[in-house]
Amino acid sequence: MRYAKFFEAFKIAAKSLIHNKTRTFLSILGVIIGTCAIIVSVGLVQSVSISVSKQLEESGLDSLILVLNYDIDMSEMYSYLNSKQNLVVGITPKKTYYTEVLSYDGKKYKCEVLLLKPSSYILENLKLVEGRFLSGLDEEKLNKVAIVFKDQAEKLFNNKKEVLFKKLLIGGEEFEVIGTVTKQKRMTDVSIGTSYYDINIIIPYKVGESLFNLEKSSQMFFIKSINSKYNSNIKKLLEEYLRNNGLNKEDYSIIDGREFVQSITTISYLLSGLLSGVASVSLIVSGIGIMNIILVSVTERTKEIGIRKAVGAKSRDIRLQFLIESFLISTLGCFVGIAFGLIIVYGVIPEVMMVEAHISPIWIIISMAICYLIGLFASWAPAERAARLDPIIALRYE
């Protein structure tokens, strides 16, 4: 009997919503916009922060990143940092450039070009599969040579096993493949082999600077310590060395991998909460819209409520009917909003922000909970008003 009454109330609520299509659509639209806004805002923050954190963790938390706009003697800096204690394993400069690479069969791929020095592969934890790595001669003679990742070579060369000495067009210039590598568990680069781009290619440092006009761009040095617990000591020595070379704190920035990941995680949680709170305002506005719709519905159907009460319907049945109307509006709006939100997070954000899309399932659940709670609170007062209507007064209503 209880289930029969529920299904009867469900049918009446559904009929009412279908009968008033425009009004229902506008109510649902508000919920869609609010839910979608929460999913997109949280997805954007999490995609960016998790991508950066993941790449830094793969880089090795035992690395410090030095960024400056001045030329500096890398060998002298390395000697200074190890003058008191041997805390630094090595220093490698690097720059990245984003462009398109044209494969031998004419296909274009989004490409992240990594400019490396000949000795960098040791610090990068790169394993040579075939061919050779960059040499000092390549740097000296500005040889246009390239190294590709083994798993990406198949895509570039149409599943051909022999890739050595094949040609690639990078930035409009022809490069010859001299080797293939695989990435180890950790690398000092913040993006190599883990980026959003289809292809990652390594070329000589000076060749890349010349080809892409990067000679005057900011320099980035990755300083690898023997253990992340010594990062703070190395940072002090590094600041001391830069100060001795006439640089002020405004001229450079030092990023501690360990501290940076912790900061990003904290900021991510704060921003996710803040943005979801802002986005929830639109859901509150849609809740007001739902309240108005239910109130209008109650007013329009006053006589119907009186008839139902006269033939035996109880107050709780009337209340349930209007709560179900609100539930259906919230459900349709919520699921469509989540669907649109996920399409934007996984379809648009990676294209625009060039990051790996991510959103925690807990935030989808939170957005649903917010949606249903606002719908419930918004419809409770009108539903209660309908439930308390005197059947005699309701039957006289015109």
What is the pLDDT averaged over residues 298-320?
A: 77
What is the pLDDT averaged over residues 379-395?
A: 75
Q: What is the pLDDT of residue 221?
A: 84
pLDDT band at residue 57, thresholds of 50, 70 and 90? low
Q: What is the pLDDT of residue 309?
A: 74
What is the pLDDT averaged over residues 379-396?
A: 74
| Cβ burial 229-257 (10 Å sphere, 16+ → b, else e) | ebbeebbebbeebbeeeebeeeebebbbb
Which of 18-32, 199-213, 309-323, 364-378 is predicted with the least confidence, judged by mean pLDDT?
A: 309-323
Please name the residues in contact with 275: beta carbons below 8 A apart, sequence gap of 6 or more: 38, 41, 42, 44, 45
Q: What is the pLDDT of residue 260?
A: 72
Q: Give ∠ CA 215-220-222 in degrees, rounded to 5.
A: 145
pLDDT score of 387 more than 80: no
Query: In DSSP terms, which residues pair with 65 in a beta bridge?
Result: 222, 255
Label the pairing between strands 173-183 and 126-131: antiparallel
Q: Which residue has the tokens 């000296």?
A: 140
Q: What is the pLDDT of residues 90-109, one digit of tens each?
A: 888 888 888 887 766 677 88
Q: What is the pLDDT of residue 188?
A: 39
What gap in Å lies between CA 133 and CA 117, rounded to an integer?
10
pLDDT score of 287 more than 80: yes
In the chain, what percentage of residues exceed pLDDT 70? Answer: 87
- Contact status, residue 157 vs residue 174, Cβ threshold 8 Å: no
- The DSSP symbol for 247 reads -
What is the pLDDT averaged over residues 306-315?
A: 76
Q: What is the pLDDT of residue 55?
A: 65
What is the pLDDT averaged over residues 278-288?
A: 79
pLDDT score of 47 more than 80: yes
pLDDT score of 233 more than 90: no
Q: Give ∠ CA 295-296-300 in degrees, rounded to 5.
A: 120
What is the pLDDT averaged over residues 159-174?
A: 83
Residue bearing the bigger pLDDT, 103 or 26: 26
What is the pLDDT averaged over residues 65-88?
A: 82
Q: What is the pLDDT of residue 191?
A: 41
Q: What is the pLDDT of residue 187?
A: 38
pLDDT score of 186 more than 60: no
Q: What is the pLDDT of residue 123?
A: 63
Residue bearing the bigger pLDDT, 122 or 75: 75
pLDDT score of 203 more than 80: yes
Q: What is the pLDDT of residues 137-157, one digit of tens each?
A: 998 899 999 999 888 887 777
- Contact status, residue 11 vs residue 4, Cβ threshold 8 Å: no
Q: What is the pLDDT of residue 195?
A: 47
Q: What is the pLDDT of residue 110?
A: 82
Kindly tell me the sign of the dihedral angle through the C-alpha atoms of 194, 198, 203, 208.
Answer: negative
What gap in Å lies between CA 32 and CA 390, rounded to an integer?
36
- Contact status, residue 318 vs residue 55, Cβ threshold 8 Å: no
pTM score above 0.75: no
Quote the tokens at residue 389.
Answer: 């209507």
Q: What is the pLDDT of residue 189?
A: 42
pLDDT band at residue 338, thresholds of 50, 70 and 90? very high
